[in-house]
Amino acid sequence: MKINWFPGHMTKALKEISMQLSKVDVILYVLDCRAPISSINPSLNKLVDKKPILYIFNKLDLSDEKRVRQLAQPFKTQTSDYCMTCSTMSGASKSIRQKIKDLARAKTEKLQSKGIRAVIRAMVIGVPNSGKSTLANNLCGKAKTVTGNRPGVTKSTQWIAIGDNIELCDTPGTLYPNLADQDVAKKLYFIGSIKDEIIGDVTQLADDFIKMASERYLTQLTERYGQDLSLPAIAKKRNYRLSKDEYDLERTAQALLDDFRKGRIGRITLD
């Protein structure tokens, strides 16, 4: 089974992002800490590679912080920086605002030298369900954008003022037209960036998740599910049955992935 999801609103979103870029001083590139490298979208990279970028490693509370810190280090360069946060927590915006100002310093100092009050324009981009709109709401201090714990909630770009002379453009989550690397596609599905409805055999993907996560987090998996990590064994332990002699493996698979997405297994980073 090949995983691919690129609905029409994503094509529209990429066009809108491209059209708005001339107004933008800083890019806020939101990455999901549970799969931060897989959260990088080559289609977005092509659009924003000449802009200062602040990489925001989001959902830190659900991830392996030590691993994320290792993965994040290369993202600090002369034209980019990074921060690690959880956009649902109050107070997460203070350090981000300062980093936006730092990355736009050349523009603001140039305008200030001419007596002009500078407005910094930032754009939030990232894959679906990475927490972009929640971050935007955190930055402005109130709910100005629609959020939801599922991909595809934001459908179009939206400019909002967040204070400190900063304006923010929230954008829809976008993937790339062809998810050629199926390991990346699976990780994006596991973290909820791809709609569950498009997936056929969730049991196979649950098996793939167990194999992938077991490479670093076997102890966490066995502590929750027992030594036997097969779906039938997990179904038996939870008493998920279709009949007296048949276990409900699809329900088990969905429950397993829900456990991961909600942090019940523990703090896991798949990349």
Question: Strands (DSSP E) along 76-230, which ranges?
Answer: 80-84, 120-126, 158-163, 166-170
pLDDT > 70 in the chain, percent: 93
Does the pLDDT at position 32 exceed 80? yes
Does the pLDDT at position 124 exceed 90? yes
| Highest mean pLDDT out of 134-148, 191-205, 214-228 | 214-228
Q: What φ, ψ does residue 134 adopt, rounded to 5°?
A: -65, -40
- DSSP for residue 92: T
pLDDT given for residue 38 in this prediction: 95
What residue type is assigned to position 2 of the chain?
K
Top-confidence residue, 155 or 101: 101
CA–CA distance, 148 with 37 (Å, rounded to integer): 23
Same fold, 8-170 and 200-261: no
CA–CA distance, 208 with 11 (Å, rounded to integer): 29
Domain residue ranges in the chain: 8-170, 200-261
pLDDT given for residue 157 in this prediction: 76
- Using alpha carbons only, give the angle 130, 220, 82 rounded to the nearest 5 degrees: 35
Mean pLDDT, to the nearest integer, of 10-21? 86
CATH 1.10.10.60 fits 8-170, yes or no: no
Going by DSSP bridges, is the β-strand pair 120-126/166-170 parallel, antiparallel, or unpaired?
A: parallel
CA–CA distance, 47 with 176 (Å, rounded to integer): 12
Q: What is the pLDDT of residues 224-270, one digit of tens each?
A: 999 999 999 999 999 999 988 899 999 999 999 999 999 999 999 99
pLDDT given for residue 94 in this prediction: 77
pLDDT given for residue 224 in this prediction: 96
Contact assessment for residue 217 and residue 190, using Cβ atoms and an 8 Å cutoff: no
Sort residue 152 into left (φ over 0), alpha (ψ -120 to 50) or beta: left
CATH 1.10.1580.10 fits 200-261, yes or no: yes
Q: Which one, of 221, 226, 225, 233, lies nearest residue 266 by Cα?
A: 221
